[in-house]
C-alpha cells in the first residue's frame, strides 16, 4: 500500500499576485526527510467555447517564455477564494468578449504534476453571444481571436501552432465529455 507522505514543516520563499514558491520538509517513504520545492496556486480555469455551428473560439497570443505565438483556449488563474464557474465566465469575457448561456464543467486536471499543486477546472461554453461590455484583457495580455472547425483545430495541434499543454488537456477532456 502506498504511504501518504507526511509534511513536517512549510515555508514560502517567494510570492507574487499569481503564485507562491513553497518549500516543505517531508518524511519520505523510507523514513528519512527531504525538501519538496513546488509552486502553489489557488487553481486555474480553461474554457472550450463551442459555437452553434460546431466551430470553436480560441485566442492567439504571444507567449514570452516560449518566444512565439500560441493558439489557445481562453483561460486564466483562479484568484484566492474565487469560484471556478464565475472565474470561467470572467475569463471568457475578458479574453474573447463573449458570454455563454451555458457554462458546464467537463473535468479538471493538474497541469504539471510534481511541480505545482494547481488544479485546472475546464468548462464547455455554449450559447455564445457578444457581451454588451467589450473584452477587457489584463494590461499584460494582447489577443487575436480565431474561429476554427474541429479539423482546423486538430491541424493546429499537428503543426505545433497549438502547443499549450493546458489547451491540449482541455481538448482531451472535451473529446471524452462529448
Three-class secondary structure of residue 90 per DSSP: helix
Closest C-alpha to 61, from 140, 142, 138, 135: 142
Closest C-alpha to 76, from 56, 115, 47, 100: 47
What span, in angstroms and rounded, lies between the C-alpha atoms of 73 and 96? 10
Residue 148: strand pairing partners = 56
Closest C-alpha to 11, from 29, 35, 27: 35
Catalytic residue among 139, 142, 152, 161: 139
Q: Grid coordinates standing for 137? A: 484583457
Q: Catalytic residue at 139?
A: yes
Ordered strands of the 75-77 beta sheet: 75-77, 44-49, 120-130, 98-109
Question: Catalytic amino acids?
Answer: 139
Amino acid at each position: 500500500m502506498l504511504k501518504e507522505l507526511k509534511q513536517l514543516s512549510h515555508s514560502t520563499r517567494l510570492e507574487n499576485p499569481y503564485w507562491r514558491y513553497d518549500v516543505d520538509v517531508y518524511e519520505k517513504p523510507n523514513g528519512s526527510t527531504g525538501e519538496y520545492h513546488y509552486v502553489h496556486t489557488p487553481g486555474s480555469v480553461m474554457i472550450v467555447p463551442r459555437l452553434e455551428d460546431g466551430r470553436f473560439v480560441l485566442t492567439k497570443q504571444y507567449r514570452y517564455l516560449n518566444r512565439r505565438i500560441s493558439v489557445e483556449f481562453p483561460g486564466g488563474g483562479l484568484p484566492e477564494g474565487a469560484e471556478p464557474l464565475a472565474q470561467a465566465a470572467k475569463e471568457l469575457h475578458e479574453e474573447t468578449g463573449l458570454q455563454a448561456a451555458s457554462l458546464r464543467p467537463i473535468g479538471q486536471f493538474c497541469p504539471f504534476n510534481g511541480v505545482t499543486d494547481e488544479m485546472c477546472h475546464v468548462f464547455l461554453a455554449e450559447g455564445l453571444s457578444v457581451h454588451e461590455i467589450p473584452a477587457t484583457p489584463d494590461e499584460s495580455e494582447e489577443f487575436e481571436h480565431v474561429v476554427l472547425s474541429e479539423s482546423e483545430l486538430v491541424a493546429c495541434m499537428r503543426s505545433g501552432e497549438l502547443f499549450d499543454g493546458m489547451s491540449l488537456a482541455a481538448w482531451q477532456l472535451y473529446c471524452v465529455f462529448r
